Each structure stands twice: as structure tokens, then as C-alpha cells.
Chain A
């Protein structure tokens, strides 16, 4: 192959695409991120809260979006679609078509004047039509890019030129361009990542739901917007009529999922159970009244970290759950009210009715027709559920080499797995084109910085009018003159638009010319503009931390429109405060840490080997530590994937490649004994005495199979270890591998699910057992179609595409009998010493007795006993159930809170092999992001200790969420590891001795700012003087 291209095309700007773009751009590739809408953000930007942490979705996502929008190596192409792809892996030519925005993004400052004046209102699709927006609009307030767009279907001018044009008149920057036209262009990339997401199922086709006809029936996405504080009802829980508050809400599960007859979707949409529970919980929180919430479901699928506990809490808090089949939703007769009658049959088969004010349809997900077309144009295969096809052992590769996929484009999946996929797809891209790393990226060069230590403060203040956004309310000239009177200020000026290119250049020039050494810009929010101005300081040759912003737009002129005098005085206060603070600022070093280009991988199972190979194949040396005598881990007992692919040949190949790889040093029979250092420069001692220097670490230590030991766990024993015909799933797989013939003679087999899972001490679902058990049952049926197979289960967790084997099992006559936690099946021996199993059948409402030849136990996966110790060595946390805890459950699923340490596989949570592989690749991609550079940037605004004041009480060490502060062993004073400190300041607030401070955000700086507020306003210009 010729040298590959160093760029990557990412299609789709939802969470998966954004994650992929950021990972790629940060590890040395140039990214074209193509998004069909006017802003990136995808479905996640529409969500209110995310389960199971109840994190605010926008809050956690927005920083990533902003980073994506600002990244030097991400080219954001919005309103665009991929037309055609030619060429081959390593060198594709991509044709892109971009629709016109009609607003010049270089000029638009998102002031919103256009939208305010625009006379045309249309349904706002971001709120699913529950609210209105204008024809010129911002997709949502935190949109990236933060640029308005004209909806050509709605715009009056575009339809009949000359009839409107209100936006042109009010736009302060002449950004409106009605002449904008569609563009087509080509780019060259080495690989392509499809992150095209899903669309919610449209329930209008399902008559029985009443959707579209009964106003009280809404989809879950619509309800999500109703819950959102930025949604159509500002988060006030209201019925769609906008008036009454609902007292009773029902959620109907599996609308458009697990339904071949009516919805043509056999698969499970995976996310709906949890989002429905979350919505019920959040709705109850929002309601100040007693809200009655009911979820109508077939199985509650809580098969991921923290889900079962969340479900259990929801039940305790009063959310009602009904195992049922919904018959229909009907309007109440008008004389009885305007409610909705829900008719459903319960588990006992009886038809029941219940009245609700609102019915939320938990709609499933599907692939949109555009994506199906795109797949056709790209020549990537779809599976029969019409998702992009990939295989369990190669989970993010499409059928076309060089094109990878991630997220819900592959299968219905929640945010964390989409993020994992994204990083895994990045890894595949890297494996393909890593030779071209840094070949197409851009880098910004800055002049050397002036040493300002000996200079007295020379502060420059730039006051922005932001067109009329600030200027129409705040008297910026007056603020500017006032600023000139402040101590330390040597220069002040107003700008029409401080962020315009010419103003930026003028600011830089003024800094140089006037020898400014501190700068205050009074304009908009530092959240969006601080990086831009800080860069300007660097371009002008001074340290970027000698800067402070006064937010006189978002937090002043925009919120005090009716009181210009007060707004002006407030602006003066804010400028005075900023000046007082920046006076005390010192230049801070741009911290970076040199990287030892080697990785330590702990655990020699599939996760560990996959990660090790992924890094070694890119040329990074890897030390693989395995505590046992051989590689392979838990997969050695796994016969097939859920779909039936053989695992052993795959595993064999993996072991061969790992042990033979020149870049991998194997440490078998070794344990990690001591770890020191931090990201970029770890030093680890193994039990063998070997010492390893490495820049990153990946923990992939697997999990164990549950064995009942305690008295409390005795009920889970089911004769296992006591009778040879009681086996667990691993042992049955072993029998399949060793002597399948022996299995074909069995007459009756009983599987018991959830042995040890989803109950008191292990309140979590072990995720992989349902699919594995059903796959085994199907294999048994294949060996002997006459075999009687019973599955005793609580909820079947065949999420996503796995649902198809559940359906097959039912078709093949496997009998499913449900049991409850309070009536567990019991196994005992009959008079002949044969196993008998008693269970209560809920449908028949009677006790039945089974006489299996083989009893198979789907036992829980449990954390390894030593995983806690290991995580402590790396200063990582463990969650309540004993599995290792990632940095953030939604957005950082393979990172630990400790920088430079990653996790993959079963040590994180039970999961099937395909997810372990994806996670291992993701961990390798995240680790590679560090190894790809010579230095990793670190936070500059860090804690800093005054040793003369420190009394060594250790409170800082105690509270630091990052373990960045330690007491020095010798002199008992606190020491901050700058490479680890994130600058939160919790230690500063906790220190009684004022011995630890946050650089530029210490007590001194903040107190100067506070005290400046209350100083006299020496208002030198009275209103009369001015007029």
C-alpha cells in the first residue's frame, strides 16, 4: 500500500461521531466531521437527564461539543452529506454535498437579533414540534457551531424575494447571505467512520397506541423535551395541551421493538427500559404533586452498570411496574373526563383497564432511510435488522475495508457503548493509517513570551458593543472611560465586535504597542470566547493567563434590557472586578509532561491481549502482565458468541499473535506490586522483581464466576459441586467442546437464570448469561430436537440484536417459565438420587416439578477478589458492586479518573466478548492518544503549596478527588503533583491555614475581585455630563 492519507472522515455529529473526531484529532489525524444538520450534538443534545447517574445531558456533553467546534484539526462540515466514496482503504476520495446555510458563519455572532425579528414561525423539530421556532434559527442554545441558519422551506424571502428580509436589516454584521448556494467538494481521507446514529421509531403506524390521534399520547423523545428545562414547557411537567398537570402517567414499553408483526422490528432497542424508568423517576422529581407512574413492560432490561440498582430504587420510590401486554389506548368517554383508558392483559392473562392523563410511548430506534441509502452508496452491507453489519469478533468493522462504524448505526445502544465503539473505530483507523500520523494535522506557532515579572501592571481593557447586543443596553463608552480611571489600567477601548478578525488583530497590536501585560475583555462569556482571546495574548507575545473576561452580555445586557442605567453600572462593577483580579494574575507555565512511550497491560485475557496487540501493532512497546501461567482468560471456557461464531480459533489466533509479537513483552505468573508516577511516566514493579517504565496502563483483569460460599448464598447453590449433573454455563461450554455427543442423549435440560445476580448482595444483571444460555439451549436443540428444555428466568436480557435468538428459542419449543425473587426455583434430589426442580409457573398459577438430566446454572459474574487492591495501586475507584469504576459512566467509559489509566473487559462490568473486544480497542485508542505524543498537556491552573504555612494536617490529601496532593514523607508538608491536579480548588477551600492556593484563583485573587465590587464607584461621569 502507498503511504496512507492522514485524514479521516467521520460521518455524523452525535456523541459517537464527536468522540471519534476528538480522539482522532488528539492522536495525530486531521478529521472532517460531516453532519447533516446545522449543528452537531445529535440525539444526546435533546435529552434531559442521562441514566443511571441522572447527569444533565447537555451539561456533560456541551464541553465536548465546544472542543470539537474549536479543534484546530477538526473540520466541521454541517448541513452536509456524503455523496460518493471511491478509492480504497488508506486512500479514499469522498464527495460531499453541503446545503446552503444562508448565514455567513464567519460573520454571525449568534446575537439572535435576526431570529427575534423574523416574522415566520414554524414547528421546532428540536422539540419534536412541541414548540415553535423562527425561519432563521439556532438549532439549540448550546449549538456548535453557534451560528444561525435559515430554513429555506420556511423563509419568506427565499420563497418570494423582496417580501421580507427582516433579518438582513437587523443583522449587525451583515452575515445574512440569501445568495448562498449548495456546494459540492471532494476530500481525501485514509479511513471513514460512520457514526450515523438512529432515528426514533414513528408510532403513528401503530393504531393501538392512539398516537397522533389522542393528544395525551406522546413519544418518549417528546416527553424528554417536556422534562428538559430548555424544552417547550421549561421543564414544567404538563400535558401536551400545555395546561393541566398530569396526575397519572403510563409508559408503554417496546413500541416499535421486539415486534415483528406490527413494527417489523424483531430486535430489542436496548435503551428504552432504562430511559422509561429514568423518565418516571425524573417526572416524579419534577412534579410537586403526587405523581402516579406506571411502566407497562414485557421484560425489564436492566443489563448494565448501575441499572438494576436504579430500577430497584425506582420501585422503592413508588414507580409501578406491570408485566403485561398492552391491548389499546382509548379516549375516555367525554362525560367521564379527558383521560386515556389503557387496556392491557396482565401476566395472568386477564384483561384490565386503567385510566391515565398521559401515555408515553417508549419508542424504539431504527435506521433512517437516508442512512440506508448512504450505506448503499458506500457499498457497506446491512444486516437483516437494517443496521450496519459487523461481526461479534470484529465489532466496529463494516463489510468494506477501511470503513468503520460505531454507535447506534450498528445496533441499538446507549451512550457509553456508543462512546466505546467510537474509540474502537478510531483504533481501527489508526491501525490502518498510523504511518500517516501527524502528516496532515495543523499546529499553531506562537512567538516567545515577554517576561513581565519586573513590570508594574499595565492593564488594557477592551469593551465590546457586540453590535447592539451590548451597546443598545450598556453605555459602552461610559464603561470604557470608567475603565481608564481604574488603578493599573493604561489603555481602554471599545470594539464593535471584539471577536471579529480585525478586532482580534487590533487587540494583539495594541498589546505589543502599548506594552500591555494584563488584558481584560468585557464582552460575552468566557465559556465560548476565553480561548480565542487567550490565543490573541499568546500571538501578541504575553502569557495567556494574564487575561480576564467580564461577561457584560450574557450576564448583563441580555438580562437587564429594561434598565440601561443599572446594566451600565453593573458592567462597570464587572470591569472593576475583572481589573482587580487580573492585576494579581501571574504568568503560568503551559504544563506538559514528557511521555514514556510504552504501555503496561494488566490481564492476559481477550481484553488484555486485544489492547496489547492494538498498541503493539502501532509500534508502541507493550508489557503484558498476566497473573496465571498462560494467556486466554475467561474466553478459554467460551465456545461461541451469541450469534454462533466459534471463539476458540479466534482465541488461539489471538494468543499466538500476542505471544509471538516482537513489541509485546510477556510477564506470565506475575502480579503488579507497586505503582508510582502518573500519566506519561509511570513506574511499576512486578512481583517478579521486574520494573517497568510506562506512559499509560490498561487494566483488564477480568471477572470470576460466582460460587456460593456464604450461608446467605446457600440458596444459589442448586446442587452445584454436589451433583455431577448440576453445571454452570462455563462447564456446559466445556462439555460442548469436549464431548458434544454425550449431550445429545439428554432428554430434559433445565436452565436457571440469574443465579446470584440481581439480588441483594449483587444487585446487578450479569448481562451475558441470558444470551449465552439461550445459545447453548439452541445448540442442544440442534443436537437433539426432541430434547425438552426449560428456562427458568426472571427477565430475559437478550438486548439489541440478541433478541433474535430468544425468538428462535421460543420458536423451537424451548419453554420459558418465569420466577420471582420471592419464589426461587428449588433443586433437590429424588429417591433415586436424580435432580428434581420445583418452580411456580406464573401463567398456569401452579407449582410444577421438573426432572432434568442436566441442570444448568446461569451464575453471576463477580469481581475478582484482588481487583480492589490493583485499582488502589493505580488510585482508581471501585463501584459499590466491586467492579472497577470508570471516570464517567456515560462519556468516559474506558478511562479511569486517574489520567493515563484505562480499563477494559469484565473487570469493568460483565459483558459479552464482542463488547469486551470493542472496549479493549477503545482503551487502546485512548491510551494511544497519549503514546502518540511526546508530551501530554496538563492543567496550568493547579494547586500550589506554601510550605512555610503548611502544617501537614493532610486535609488536602483527604479531599482531593484526583489523589493529586500528598504529604511529603520527610518534611510532612503537602506536595501537589501538577501532572495530576485538575485545578478544582477543593483542597484550597478545605485548608484552614491558607497554605494551598490555586494559581490565579487563590484567596487573594478572588478576594480582590470581591472587594473591588464593594469599593466606591467613583463614577467620574454623571448622567448629566454625558447628555
Chain B
């Protein structure tokens, strides 16, 4: 098991990026050589509208220290309206997870277009810094070696 409290701990952040805009923005950050912390692990999804509570919670459960979802700006969705459904879902979910005590800076949402390479790098840095400041995420993380697993 990865020791999550060791010195030199670096956060791991799952980033769900829509393939049309934000993933392209991430590529552009690379093409333009904008540097950002090596903490982001990108999961490419067709649309931010594909991402739901279950995927986000799964990332936390599996041990992500932060989760970041990014899609096309409202109005730019490749699938007409996917990001607009996503927007409601995300706004509601984030407020809700904060309500049950998830630290606000664990979960991030943004709109980043294919031409916002620098914007992507900036947001990646911001997300990392905020998550790093919180330390390893314990809430909602399921320790698999827990003895409780087979209690029955």
C-alpha cells in the first residue's frame, strides 16, 4: 500500500476531461510547453455530461486526493447540450459533497476550451496547489486493507 502520509507526498488528482475542448486544451498546454505540477491524471471522456456522481465518488474512494472535471464552455458543447446537463449536476453535487464534509478544494469544475492551453496549465496548477494544501484525502477514501471488510 502506498504510504499516503510519507514525506514528499504529492497529490494524485483525477481529471475528467471532455475530448473536444478541455482535453484539447491540455494538449495545447503541452504543445506550448506550459509547465504544471505532475499531479494530474487525465481520464478522457466524450463529454463532461458523461461524468456523474458515481465516477467522481469512485475516484475519491479509490484514493484520489482531488477530482477535477472540465468540459467545453456552455454553448460550445460538441453534443449540443451535454455540458449544460453536467453543469446542474456538478453544481448540485459539489455543494452536496461539501455539505457532508468534503473539503471544498477537493473537487473542481471548470470550462476550458481547445484554445486555452495556458488556462489549462494555470487551472492544473491551481487545483494541485489547493489539493496539496489539504494533504492526502482521507474522507471517502476506502482503505482496502481494512480489517472491517469481512466483518460478517
Contacts and interface: CB of A to CB of B under 8 A. Distances in A.
**A and B co-occur in one complex:** yes
Contacts of A60: 76
Interface residues of B, number: 62
Contacts of B43: 577, 1006, 1009-1010
Interface in A928-942: 941
Interface string A57-83: 111101100000000000000000000
A527 B24 contact: yes
Nearest to B119: A229
Given A60-B76, A1010-B62, A559 B121 contact: yes
B132 to A, nearest CB: 13
Interface string A103-141: 000000000100000000000000000000000000001
Interface in A301-342: none
A559 B113 contact: no
Contacts, number: 191
A1006 B19 CA distance: 14
A440 interface: no
Contact of A1010 (B20, B35, B64): B64
B12 A961 contact: no
A229 B12 contact: no
A559 B36 contact: yes
A55 B78 CA distance: 11
Interface string A526-566: 11000000000000000000000001011110111111001
Contacts of B10: 566
Contacts of A1006: 43, 45, 55
Contacts of B85: 959, 986, 989-990
A527 B27 contact: yes
A570 B26 CA distance: 15
Contacts of B117: 141, 229-230
A59 B62 contact: no
A959 B20 CA distance: 20
Nearest to B65: A1014
Nearest to B63: A1014
Contact of A1003 (B12, B55, B82, B113): B55
A897 interface: yes
A562 B55 CA distance: 32
A815 interface: no
Nearest to B49: A986
Nearest to A550: B42
Contact of B38 (A112, A563, A1007, A1014): A563
B89 to A, nearest CB: 7
Contact of B75 (A54, A574, A990): A54
Contacts of A959: 49, 85
B31 interface: yes
A574 B34 CA distance: 20
B80 interface: yes
Contacts of A1014: 2, 12, 62-64
Contacts of A1001: 45-46, 50
B127 interface: no
A65 to B, nearest CB: 11
Contact of B52 (A553, A567, A990): A990
Contacts of B81: 961, 986
Contacts of A1017: 2
A205 interface: no
Given A230-B117, A961-B82, A985 B30 contact: no
A53 interface: yes
B101 to A, nearest CB: 21
B130 interface: no
Given A229-B116, A986-B79, A562 B35 contact: yes
Contact of B30 (A558, A962, A1009): A558
Interface string B68-87: 00001101101111100110
A559 B34 contact: yes
Contacts of A692: none
Contacts of A573: 12, 41
Interface in B9-49: 10, 12, 14, 19-21, 23-24, 26-38, 40-47, 49
Contacts of A141: 28, 31-32, 117
Contacts of A614: none
A824 interface: no
Contacts of A570: 38, 41
Interface string B111-141: 0011111110100000000000000000000
Contacts of A58: 113-115
Interface in A33-66: 48, 53-60, 62-63
B78 to A, nearest CB: 8
Contact of A983 (B46, B114, B116): B46
A58 B79 CA distance: 17
Contact of A985 (B34, B38, B47, B115): B47
A367 interface: no
A558 B89 CA distance: 33
A137 to B, nearest CB: 13
Contacts of A558: 30-31, 33
Q: Give the interface residue-count category, chain A.
A: 35 or more
A129 to B, nearest CB: 20
A209 interface: no
A1018 to B, nearest CB: 10
A236 to B, nearest CB: 9
A897 B21 contact: no
Interface in B91-127: 113-119, 121
B27 A525 contact: yes
Contacts of B115: 48, 56-59, 228-230
A527 B119 CA distance: 19
Nearest to B80: A961
Nearest to A989: B52
B33 A986 contact: no
A60 B75 CA distance: 11
A556 B78 CA distance: 26
Scoring A553, A1010, A1011 by chain B CB atoms within 10 A of each residue's CB, the highest score goes to A1010
A1003 B54 CA distance: 8
A982 B31 CA distance: 29
Interface in A194-237: 228-230, 234-235
Q: Which of B59, B78, B113 has the most CB of A within 10 A?
A: B113
A612 interface: no
A604 to B, nearest CB: 31
Nearest to B141: A1014
A704 interface: no
B118 A234 contact: yes
Contacts of A229: 113, 115-119
A1016 B41 contact: no
A562 B40 CA distance: 16
Contact of B50 (A560, A984, A994, A1011): A984
Given A59-B20, A573-B41, A577-B43, A1010 B75 contact: no
Nearest to B18: A984
A698 B113 CA distance: 33
B151 interface: no
Interface string A244-288: 000000000000000000000000000000000000000000000
Q: Which 3 pairs across A and B sit closest by C-beta, in order of nearness?
A: A985-B50, A554-B30, A984-B79
Given A961-B82, A962-B80, 14 more contacts: A55-B76, A112-B33, A228-B115, A560-B38, A574-B42, A959-B85, A961-B80, A962-B79, A984-B50, A984-B79, A985-B82, A986-B86, A989-B85, A1013-B41
25 contacts: A55-B76, A59-B20, A59-B76, A62-B24, A63-B20, A229-B118, A230-B115, A235-B116, A554-B31, A555-B29, A561-B33, A573-B12, A577-B43, A984-B50, A984-B82, A986-B79, A986-B81, A988-B52, A990-B52, A990-B85, A1003-B54, A1007-B55, A1013-B12, A1014-B64, A1016-B1
Interface of B: 1-2, 10, 12, 14, 19-21, 23-24, 26-38, 40-47, 49-52, 54-55, 58-59, 62-64, 72-73, 75-76, 78-82, 85-86, 89, 113-119, 121
